[in-house]
Amino acid sequence: MRCLWCNSSFSSQHATRMMSHVLKWPKGGLGACTGIIPKERYEWYKEFHDKKMKIRGRGMRDGRVDDCSDQFT
Ligand SMILES: [Zn+2]
């Protein structure tokens, strides 16, 4: 999986970690993205992440994130 914004490639296929990366949260395990992400895009990632957290909070299975993996490659 390669980051669109900083061109780093990761061996991890975890979209959740990738999400932390593009949201520039180093605690995700991939470090913070050094690329310049347009605000709208950043908001999109953030919204997606929030939604995903809510889904997880309801105890549903973690799998929907694959729907957006095209956004990262
Ligand atoms: Zn990046």
**How close are the terminal C-alpha atoms of the chain, in Å?**
6
Distance 53 CA to ligand 1 centre (A): 21
Structure tokens at 13: 């296929």
Q: What is the per-residue pLDDT for 13?
A: 74
Distance 70 CA to ligand 1 centre (A): 15
Is 31 within 8 Å of 60 (Cβ atoms)? no
pLDDT exceeds cutoff 60 at 61: no
- How far apart are alpha carbons 5 and 21 in whole angstroms? 10
- How far apart are alpha carbons 57 and 69 in whole angstroms? 21
| Residue-by-residue DSSP string for 22-40 | HTT-GGGTT----S---HH
Q: What is the per-residue pLDDT for 10?
A: 86
| pTM given for the model | 0.67
Distance 64 CA to ligand 1 centre (A): 21
Predicted confidence (pLDDT) per residue in 1-42, tens digit: 889 999 999 887 788 888 899 999 888 888 899 999 999 999
Q: Residue 72's pLDDT band (boundaries 50, 70, 90)? A: low
Segments making up each domain of the chain, as ranges: 1-61
Distance 43 CA to ligand 1 centre (A): 15
